[in-house]
């Protein structure tokens, strides 16, 4: 009996340690801390960021089911709302704020990349955690990802003044990191491949994003330690876009009497942008300095999601 209890206790402790070590938030927070302290490897890793992002996007989008597209008419409407919230509302406000508040053109370009990016893949698991409408989030995410292939290059080229950019090159980049990974992810859904992918997907995605965030933070660590004016200004803009815009949306949703699960999904699609995508795209298109907003975004998205989770827990 004693041996049995000891065995169960050991198994329980191992499970808790395993869950702690591989906790998504802990891994990403660890990547930020390591980037701030040990930044030497970031310069080498930046050359591989786009490949890492392509793998992460492939694995992440296996969570998007095409079955949820039915009926098509309803899905197209939900996609349209998600695109409107993520691009026409969030992107417009972020670009306007950045235009008036940021003097450095590369920091502004970094904000434009954030405005042009699709929602972060974290919206899917956090929809479940926050008791949102999972089908709505998956359909909305799919719609914005597909739309980003066209909208992102247009937004980036337009607001960067086409500075040394080939708009067709931007389209090719989006095809490589959004469309091709999504198409490959459909193949990974085939059994028995999916059975293997499902077991490892979460951890691989977390590690992949951690490497991308580490690179963005490591390359710009001096901003976190020295340039507090830039840090404060970008943080102010991004906090306003997440906490401020999220709060405003909640007020509007209550006035319009939008069902709670749907409002959770819409708020996440409105306020969460992919820090991994923006970090890689910023470095690849405009260079290290443009990735500073994405490095700060990575920290603030974690803070925002933890805030939403804690608030949900307190609500019961």
In the predicted model, what is the mean pLDDT of residues 266-291?
Answer: 88
Most confident range, picked from 132-141, 240-249, 279-288: 240-249
Residue in 109, 70, 31 with CA at minimum distance from that of residue 286: 109
Angle, helices 228-239 vs 90-101, to 10°: value is 150
pLDDT for the residue 234: 95
pLDDT for the residue 52: 86
In the predicted model, what is the mean pLDDT of residues 178-190?
Answer: 87
Residue in 219, 213, 223, 222 with CA at minimum distance from that of residue 280: 213
Contacts of 286 (CB under 8 A, 6+ apart): 106, 109, 110, 113, 160
Query: Of 26-35, 68-77, 272-281, which gets the smallest average pLDDT?
Result: 68-77
Contacts of 272 (CB under 8 A, 6+ apart): 119, 120, 122, 123, 126, 242, 301, 304, 305
Angle, helices 134-159 vs 90-101, to 10°: value is 40
> Per-domain residue ranges for the chain?
25-311
For domain 25-311, say whether CATH 1.20.1530.20 is its number. yes
CA distance 73 to 240: 34
pLDDT band of residue 311 (cuts 50, 70, 90) is confident
Positive or negative: CA dihedral 254, 298, 75, 143: positive
CA distance 139 to 69: 7
pLDDT band of residue 1 (cuts 50, 70, 90) is low
In the predicted model, what is the mean pLDDT of residues 241-261?
Answer: 95
pLDDT for the residue 172: 81
pLDDT band of residue 242 (cuts 50, 70, 90) is very high
Quote the percentage of the chain above a pLDDT of 90: 30
Q: Do 290 and 107 contact (CB within 8 A), yes or no?
A: yes
pLDDT for the residue 260: 93
CA distance 125 to 237: 25
pLDDT for the residue 7: 52
In the predicted model, what is the mean pLDDT of residues 132-142?
Answer: 89
* Secondary structure string (H, E, C) spanning 92-152: HHHHHHHHHHCCCHHHHHHHHHHHHCCECCCHHHHHHHCCCCHHHHHHHHHHHHHHHHHHH
In the predicted model, what is the mean pLDDT of residues 231-252?
Answer: 95
CA distance 184 to 195: 16
pLDDT band of residue 16 (cuts 50, 70, 90) is very low
In the predicted model, what is the mean pLDDT of residues 184-189?
Answer: 88
In the predicted model, what is the mean pLDDT of residues 34-40?
Answer: 87
């Amino acid at each position: 009996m004693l041996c049995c209890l000891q065995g169960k206790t050991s198994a329980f402790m191992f499970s808790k340690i395993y869950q702690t070590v591989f906790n998504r938030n802990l891994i990403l927070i660890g990547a930020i801390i390591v980037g701030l302290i040990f930044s030497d490897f970031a310069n080498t890793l930046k050359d591989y960021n786009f490949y890492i992002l392509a793998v992460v996007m492939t694995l992440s989008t296996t969570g998007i089911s095409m079955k949820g597209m039915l009926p098509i008419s309803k899905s197209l409407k939900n996609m349209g709302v998600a695109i409107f919230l993520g691009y026409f509302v969030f992107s417009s406000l972020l670009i306007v704020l950045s235009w008036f508040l940021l003097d450095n053109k590369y920091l502004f370009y970094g904000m434009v990349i954030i405005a042009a990016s699709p929602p972060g893949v974290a919206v899917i698991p956090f929809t479940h955690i926050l008791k949102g409408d999972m089908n709505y989030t998956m359909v909305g995410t799919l719609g914005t990802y597909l739309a980003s292939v066209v909208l992102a290059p247009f937004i980036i080229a337009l607001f960067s003044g086409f500075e040394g950019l080939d708009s067709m090159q931007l389209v090719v980049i989006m095809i490589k990191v959004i469309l091709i990974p999504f198409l490959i992810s459909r193949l990974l859904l085939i059994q028995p491949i999916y059975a293997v992918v499902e077991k490892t997907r979460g951890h691989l995605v977390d590690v992949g994003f951690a490497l991308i965030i580490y690179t963005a933070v490591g390359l710009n660590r001096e901003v976190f330690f020295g340039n507090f004016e830039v840090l404060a200004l970008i943080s102010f803009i991004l906090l306003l876009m997440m906490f401020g815009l999220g709060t405003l949306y909640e007020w509007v949703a209550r006035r319009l009497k939008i069902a709670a699960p749907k409002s959770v999904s819409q708020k996440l699609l409105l306020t969460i942008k992919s820090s991994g995508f923006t970090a890689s795209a910023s470095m690849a298109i405009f260079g290290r300095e443009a990735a500073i907003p994405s490095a700060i975004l990575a920290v603030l998205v974690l803070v925002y999601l933890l805030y939403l989770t804690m608030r949900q827990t307190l609500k019961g």
